[in-house]
Amino acid sequence: MSKYDIIVLGSGPGGYVTAIRASQLGFKTAVVEKESLGGVCLNWGCIPTKALIKSAQVFEYLKHAEDYGLKVKEAEADFDAVVKRSRGVAEGMSNGVKFLMKKNKIDVINGFGKLKPGKKVEVDGKEYSADHIVIATGARSRELPNLPQDGEKVIGYREAMTLKKQPKKMIVVGSGAIGVEFAYVYNSMGTEVTIVEYMDRIVPVEDEEVSKQLERSFKKNGIKIKTSSEVVSVDTSGDGVKATVKTKKGEEVIEADVVLSAVGIKTNIENIGLEDVGIAVDRDKILVNDYYQTNIPGYYAIGDVTPGQALAHVASAEGILCVEKIAGQHVEKLDYGNIPGCTYCSPEIASVGLTEQQAKDKGIDIKVGKFPFSASGKASAGGNKEGFVKVIFDAKYGEWLGCHMIGAGVTDMIAEAVLGRKLETTGHEVLKAVHPHPTMSEAVMEAVADAYDEVIHL
């Protein structure tokens, strides 16, 4: 039996990062992976979707070249080539993780891992033991009973990235990050897209003003949006799909070539031995303490299988914190109230902290500032005037309670707010920190200025 200090079950952005940090700390480490190194994020999620989105953005630039004083002969989207490029990017990233495993002297055990009592993992009939076992098995596309996925006419995100033929019509069920990103990609390349959202607005976890702006932008680009609606059944017996949608006005049937189910995720905790070991689970989440220890000593869990936000950067942070705690380092528990969320449709969305409504619901006296990109010189020069930056501060103490952005490149801007909140920055400190001009990021300073009635360019 092979013996390790730490075995990590799963090699997604939680698992492989955990393994590398463990190795850096001097632990003899192994990672178990049933499929491809990098997990869903690198192979079927975060990275290849961004490649698809980039192709869509380039295509949109080509279609609007005359807006920039350029003449381009009619551009065409080669769907197969777009998909091929996306898969190539994913393969390159997965190979990069292979290199990192080798560089950090981490053993990669290929196969399906199952937990055993006594700090053991069984992989395809062979047992391995460790002082510490970290569960990082991630999640997959969730299926609704009334929307079973057949992989052809009713699909999840994996199939959406590798369709053999571009659909003429697509229904996207759910308007979270996955739903709106794919809606943007397919609409940009010429597919007629309809979004069906159960809640009363799209991207419902975002600030209400952000939801309204995205809806305006999407509708302007021809995306049909049905909120306060749900798909109650699908008929796949014909050439395409007939979806019966219940709306506020009654039921209607929408026809499409394919339905993309983007209604959330389901954790991968089945058949991995949790019951055999006695690890406590609540619904489909593994229960852990602030340092990701389960109720059974020597077993830990991070990432999507735990109750925190199901985001790649959260899984990575949890894994690092977990093994640093095992190593005896002094670590601070993760602040889940200061986790940034990013959605990579166009316009992009990025946010952290409380929304305006959440702050009001808490009874906090707030100052709210907002700066539109239409007033930004950099945004005007770049032809990206849609969207805004919105900031929320505690009126009494100046605490930065929340920041919400929608516009071009905002996913690369939100870190300022995350860092500022981590350092307990006040509104006046942000306002007096000189921001470069002309940049998109100076909209943050301008939004803060608006909150304190000092805005110059609005």
The 3-state secondary structure of 370-387, one letter per residue: EEEHHHCHHHHHHCCCCC
Same domain flag for 7 and 112: yes
| pLDDT of 310 over the 90 cut | yes
Same domain flag for 215 and 199: yes
Quote the Cα angle for 382-388-393, to 5°. Answer: 140
DSSP-H helix ranges across 165-284: 177-188, 208-220, 274-277
Backbone angles phi and psi of 391, in degrees to 5 = -125, 150
Question: Tell me, what CATH number does 444's domain have?
Answer: 3.30.390.30
The whole-number pLDDT of residue 154 equals: 95
Q: What would the two tokens of residue 359 be? A: 């702050």
- CA dist., res. 256 & res. 79, Å (int): 18
* Per-residue pLDDT tens over the stretch 35-67: 889 888 888 888 999 999 999 999 999 999 999
Domain boundary among 263, 280, 297: 263
- CA dist., res. 29 & res. 301, Å (int): 16
Residue 201 lies in a domain: yes
Mean local confidence (pLDDT), 110-130: 96
- CA dist., res. 176 & res. 406, Å (int): 15
Mean of pLDDT over the chain: 95
Handedness of CA 87, 89, 94, 99 (dihedral sign): positive
Instruction: Identify the domain containing residue 428 by its residue range.
Output: 347-451
Residue 458 lies in a domain: no
Same domain flag for 259 and 270: no
Same domain flag for 103 and 13: yes
Residue 220 lies in a domain: yes
Residue 341 lies in a domain: no
**Bridge partners for 123 per DSSP:** 113, 126
The whole-number pLDDT of residue 453 equals: 94
- CA dist., res. 351 & res. 55, Å (int): 24
Same domain flag for 187 and 75: no
Mean local confidence (pLDDT), 164-176: 96
Please report, as a single letter, which amino acid is at residue 219. K
The whole-number pLDDT of residue 359 equals: 97
| pLDDT of 442 over the 90 cut | yes
| pLDDT of 80 over the 80 cut | yes
Residue 175 lies in a domain: yes
Residue 148 lies in a domain: no
- CA dist., res. 178 & res. 311, Å (int): 12
| pLDDT of 1 over the 80 cut | no
Q: What would the two tokens of residue 362 be? A: 């808490």
DSSP category for residue 439: -
- CA dist., res. 260 & res. 178, Å (int): 10
**b/e per residue, 236-264, with b = 16+ CB within 10 A?**
beeebbebebbeeeeeeebebbbbbbbbe
Same domain flag for 314 and 402: no
Same domain flag for 135 and 55: yes
Q: What would the two tokens of residue 249 be? A: 């006005």
Question: Which secondary structure element, helix H or strand E, spans residue 367, and what is its range?
Answer: strand 366-372
Same domain flag for 125 and 7: yes
The whole-number pLDDT of residue 238 equals: 87
Residue stretches of the annotated binding site for NAD(+):
174-181, 197, 264
Quote the Cα angle for 369-371-373, to 5°. Answer: 160
Same domain flag for 328 and 353: no
- CA dist., res. 58 & res. 61, Å (int): 5
Q: How many residues in total does the chain contain?
A: 458
Residue stretches of the annotated binding site:
50, 113, 174-181, 197, 264, 304
Crossing angle of the two packed helices 46-63 and 79-103, in degrees rounded to 10: 140
Same domain flag for 60 and 111: yes
Active site residue 437: yes
Domain boundary among 301, 336, 371: 336
Question: Tell me, what CATH number does 89's domain have?
Answer: 3.50.50.60
Same domain flag for 6 and 134: yes
Domain boundary among 263, 296, 324: 263
In this structure, are residues 145 and 235 in contact, taking their beta carbons and an 8 Å threshold?
no
Handedness of CA 183, 185, 186, 190 (dihedral sign): positive
The whole-number pLDDT of residue 36 equals: 87
- CA dist., res. 441 & res. 166, Å (int): 36
The total of structural domains in the chain comes to: 3
- CA dist., res. 320 & res. 328, Å (int): 13
Least confident of 144-148, 404-408, 444-448: 144-148
Residue 130 lies in a domain: yes
Residue 323 lies in a domain: yes
Residue stretches of the annotated binding site for FAD:
50, 113, 304
Quote the Cα angle for 271-286-39, to 5°. Answer: 65
Residue that is written with structure tokens 């991207």 in the block: 203
Same domain flag for 219 and 178: yes
Residue 141's pLDDT band (cuts 50, 70, 90): confident
- CA dist., res. 401 & res. 417, Å (int): 10
**Bridge partners for 109 per DSSP:** 32
Look at 417 and 43; give whichever has higher pLDDT: 417
* Residue 131: Cβ-neighbour burial (10 angstroms; 0-12, 13-18, 19+): middle
> Which residue out of 64, 428, 437, 457 is catalytically annotated?
437
Q: What would the two tokens of residue 315 be? A: 């899984």
Question: Which secondary structure element, helix H or strand E, spans residue 258, and what is its range?
Answer: strand 258-261
Share of the chain above pLDDT 70, in %: 100
